[in-house]
């Protein structure tokens, strides 16, 4: 039997070889639509029983997930619990049963559909994700109404590869993660909760595979290549041996590199500092264990998402930042202030929903509109600064005015805390994120008000090329090698050198060997990345000569077309793997 090859987008790198297990939808296709008036009371009781059962199941799943994955991710299951407890939704369902004599199954479907239609009409990843949460809750309630037995997952293979329409955090909680080797999905973006967890636990994922349910059966042997976005169904013995050898080499290489705390220095003596990106305490520990010299980007939005009804308070934030400061000690940890983009918070949704996520109230703009929320965060950071080497970076700065106003609020918070007798780091450094073209144009002027720069390459590419990194129709435009992007990065490196300012690159391009090498050739000496990429990047950079790569960079900066740039880069770095647009955005 010939091997069947399926193509999709690789959303979590690595290779897995295992046995397919198709996730089947449990909800029955048929149920009653109408009930009689005499049945109304009993059907309402049946609904309430199903709601209680659904709540118990979610609470049980939350406990299991906390034990296997960690408490910092379990808040996402709380979103499902909040939907179950939403009185407006429950009242709508009960009204349809009482007034319209609909069956509970039908009432749940119709009441939810009104909300789902609103979610689907919004071209916004956050609200689409909330729609997915609601759909999952609906399926759970109906399954319990119809008393469908939950899948026991008895006899699951040790080398489990889940094949599903999409992955949710709740789905992951239902399966033993120690057996889960890979995921093959019909749909699902790189920002979904399930994908984020999969990447954190190095589970290879291929998404966007058309007709995946028809192409793969439970029991099929699969090879999942999350780096290239390829799935092999029924591979030959030689193909399995080839991928097994690749996995052994990868594991051997990772083991040889993990724990290497020695400095990263190029062949000709150029020092390069490597940091980890993180948003949870567990990721900080992973990064430091893999050789990170600090945390180059700590995303604070995750903290806010733990409370869906209000912005998280100063005290809760202080505990997180204090823990971060204690973990890094003398090593730097750069905390990015609030920057809700695609992952919007319900508290701000009435305002944020009025504009596009990428062009509306983000970063410092949002903070200046809500100064008390910004000052609460800053106060927590300043209090924590007494416990370690914390730095603050302000995102989405596009003018000198914004950095001045932001620093004024920070200074106000400093004065308040000093008057209260709180010990803080009075010299805490404040930097800006360079991620919009306006900041690059005004960089010399902005530099006078910033202690350091942090380049967010994902947004910089997006805004420079007017190409969303989440739109598959124009994914080909989202390319770090575009001459305009390269010239922008080169300008940042030159201005920083002239101003004697520290500049850090913390976007995903730093995680790729070719792009990291080019960044070093431009003069960047501080790179922050996915913690798991640190060992490989350290090894690669130790094998290049800065002056040679600098000459290559100077050459490609003179080239006017992307095709010419790619030709030179492919020739110069032929031994290093390339990265597709889909992988880059993950």
**CA gap 45, 261 in Å, rounded:** 61
331-342 b/e (C-beta count within 10 Å ≥ 16 → b): ebbbbbbbbbbb
Q: What's domain 458-505+507-586's architecture? A: Alpha-Beta Barrel (3.20)
Burial (Cβ within 10 Å: 0-12, 13-18, ≥19) of residue 404: exposed
Q: What average pLDDT does range 42-55 have in this prediction?
A: 93
Has 506 been annotated as catalytic? yes
Catalytic residue among 73, 80, 193, 387: 193
Query: Which residues are bridge partners to 416 per DSSP?
Result: none
**If you classify domain 294-456 with CATH, what class do you get?**
alpha beta
**CA gap 345, 349 in Å, rounded:** 6
**If you classify domain 4-24+155-254 with CATH, what class do you get?**
alpha beta
Query: Which residues are bridge partners to 334 per DSSP?
Result: 391
CB count in 10 Å sphere of residue 291:
22
Query: pLDDT (tens digit, 9 = 90+) per residue, 400-430?
Result: 999 999 999 999 999 999 999 999 999 999 9
Supply the DSSP string of 93-129, one letter for each residue.
HHHHHHTS-B-HHHHHHHHHHHHHHHHHTS--HHHHH
- Say if residue 170's pLDDT is above 80: no
The confidence band for 513, taking pLDDT boundaries of 50, 70 and 90, is: confident
Number of alpha helices (DSSP H) and beta strands (DSSP E) in the chain: 25, 17
With a threshold of 0.85, does the pTM exceed it? Answer: no
Contact yes or no for 291/538 (Cβ under 8 A):
yes
Q: What's domain 37-145's architecture? A: Orthogonal Bundle (1.10)
Query: pLDDT (tens digit, 9 = 90+) per residue, 226-270?
Result: 888 899 999 999 999 999 999 998 887 767 766 678 999 999 999
Catalytic residue among 264, 387, 506, 512: 506
37-145 and 458-505+507-586: same fold? no
**Which run of H or of E encompasses 488?**
helix 483-499
The closest alpha carbon to 552, from 508, 516, 518, belongs to 518
Q: What is the DSSP letter of 531?
A: G
Q: Which residue has the tokens 């805004």?
A: 463
- Say if residue 582's pLDDT is above 50: no
Can you list the alpha helix ranges (DSSP code H) found in 218-370?
237-257, 281-289, 301-304, 314-328, 349-352, 363-369
Of all residues in the chain, what percent are helix, strand and coil, respectively (each to 5)? 50, 15, 35
Q: Which residue has the higher pLDDT, 69 or 209?
A: 209
Instruction: Map out the domains of the chain as residue ranges.
Output: 4-24+155-254, 37-145, 294-456, 458-505+507-586
> Does the CA dihedral 524-271-334-202 come out positive or negative?
positive
Has 193 been annotated as catalytic? yes
Q: What average pLDDT does range 167-188 have in this prediction?
A: 82
């Amino acid at each position: 039997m010939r091997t069947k090859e399926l193509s999709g987008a690789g959303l979590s790198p690595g290779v897995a070889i295992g046995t397919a297990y198709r996730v089947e939808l449990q909800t029955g296709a048929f149920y009653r639509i109408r009930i009689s008036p005499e049945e109304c009371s009993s059907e309402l009781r049946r609904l309430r029983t199903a709601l209680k059962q659904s709540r118990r199941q979610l609470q049980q799943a939350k406990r299991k997930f906390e034990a296997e994955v960690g408490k910092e991710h379990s808040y996402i299951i709380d979103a499902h619990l909040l939907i179950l407890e939403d009185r407006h939704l429950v009242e709508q369902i009960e009204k349809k049963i009482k007034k319209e004599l609909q069956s509970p199954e039908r009432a749940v479907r119709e009441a939810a559909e009104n909300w789902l239609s609103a979610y689907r009409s919004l071209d916004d990843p956050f609200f689409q994700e909330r729609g997915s949460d609601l759909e999952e809750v609906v399926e759970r309630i109906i399954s319990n109404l119809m008393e469908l037995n939950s899948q026991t997952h008895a006899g699951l293979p040790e080398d489990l590869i889940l094949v599903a329409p999409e992955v949710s955090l709740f789905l992951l909680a239902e399966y033993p993660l120690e057996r889960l080797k890979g995921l093959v999905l019909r749909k699902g973006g790189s920002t979904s909760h399930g994908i984020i967890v999969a990447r954190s636990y190095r589970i290879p994922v291929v998404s966007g595979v058309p007709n995946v349910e028809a192409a793969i059966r439970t029991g099929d042997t699969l090879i999942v290549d999350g780096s290239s976005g390829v799935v092999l169904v029924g591979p030959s013995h030689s193909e399995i041996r080839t991928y097994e050898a690749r996995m052994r080499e990868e594991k051997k290489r990772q083991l040889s590199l993990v724990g290497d705390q020695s400095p990263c220095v190029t062949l000709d003596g150029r020092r390069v500092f490597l940091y980890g990106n993180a948003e949870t305490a567990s990721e900080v520990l992973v990064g430091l264990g893999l050789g990170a010299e600090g945390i180059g980007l700590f995303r604070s939005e995750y903290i806010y998402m733990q409370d869906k009804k209000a912005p998280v308070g100063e005290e809760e934030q202080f505990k997180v930042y204090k823990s971060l400061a204690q973990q890094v000690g003398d090593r730097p940890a750069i905390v990015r202030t609030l920057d809700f983009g695609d992952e919007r918070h319900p508290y701000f949704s009435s305002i944020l929903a009025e504009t596009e996520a990428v062009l509306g109230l983000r970063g410092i703009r949002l903070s200046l509109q809500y100064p008390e929320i910004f000052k609460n965060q800053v106060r927590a950071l300043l209090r924590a600064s007494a416990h370690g080497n914390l730095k603050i970076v302000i995102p989405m700065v596009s003018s000198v005015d914004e950095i001045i106003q932001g620093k004024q609020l920070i200074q106000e918070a400093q004065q308040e805390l000093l008057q209260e007798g709180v010990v803080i780091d009075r010299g805490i450094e404040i930097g800006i994120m360079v991620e919009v073209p306006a900041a690059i144009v005004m960089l010399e002027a902005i530099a006078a008000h910033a202690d350091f720069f942090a380049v967010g390459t994902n947004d910089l590419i997006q805004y420079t090329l007017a190409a969303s990194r989440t739109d598959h129709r124009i994914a080909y435009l989202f390319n770090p090698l575009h001459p305009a992007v390269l010239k922008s990065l080169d300008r940042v490196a030159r201005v920083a050198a002239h101003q004697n300012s520290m500049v850090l690159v913390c976007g995903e391009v730093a995680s790729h060997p070719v792009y990291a090498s080019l960044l070093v050739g431009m003069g960047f000496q501080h790179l922050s990345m996915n913690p798991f990429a640190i060992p490989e990047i350290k090894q690669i950079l130790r094998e290049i000569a800065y002056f040679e790569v600098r000459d290559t960079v100077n050459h490609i900066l003179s080239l006017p077309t992307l095709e010419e740039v790619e030709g030179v880069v492919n020739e110069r770095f032929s031994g290093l793997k390339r990265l597709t647009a889909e992988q880059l955005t993950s």
